[in-house]
Amino acid sequence: MNEKGEKEQLVKHLKGGEAFTSLEIFIDKIPFEKLGERPYNLPYSFYELFYHIVFSQKDILEYSISGDYKTSNWPEDYWPDESAPQNRETWEKLKKDYFDDRDILENFLMDPKNDLNISVRNSENHTLLRETLLIIEHTAYHTGQMLIILRLLGLYK
């Protein structure tokens, strides 16, 4: 497979649906009022997990391509202070940010000028391939947790 084919395969995995359910399929299955619930004493709510996915994706994206990247503090910056969004506008913006950043990464990946095996902007040791796989693995892991929360809330089968 050539690099274009490899990049296309990465984009398929980035969007989900290969080995894990795509966020598009279930992100709107939860009512706003339930976003902050932590069923059965789970440590995170649906909102907290999604916030973490969005923040982490943006952080890795910025690490990979931005000349203005600033290191975030782990774990405090990566998790929200509250278990639910402040309002519907905050929730809608979070969803938009996720999909916008994913589109930016897809476009960056598919640009023929960007080699998968060259170091990313802010590292001599990490490649675009590594950072893309990190986003895919991280999103898949937490997507599974989000689906469990939906099932425990009786919102997904």
Chain-centre distance for alpha carbon 119: 21
**Predicted model pTM:** 0.97
DSSP string, 69-92: --PPPTTGGGS-SSSS-SSHHHHH
Structural domains of the chain ordered from first start:
3-8+34-152 (1.20.120)
36 near 47, Cβ under 8 Å? yes
pLDDT tens, position by position, for the chain (157 residues)?
899 999 999 999 999 978 889 999 999 999 999 999 999 999 999 999 999 999 999 999 999 999 999 999 999 999 999 999 999 999 999 999 999 999 999 999 999 999 999 999 999 999 999 999 999 999 999 999 999 999 999 999 8
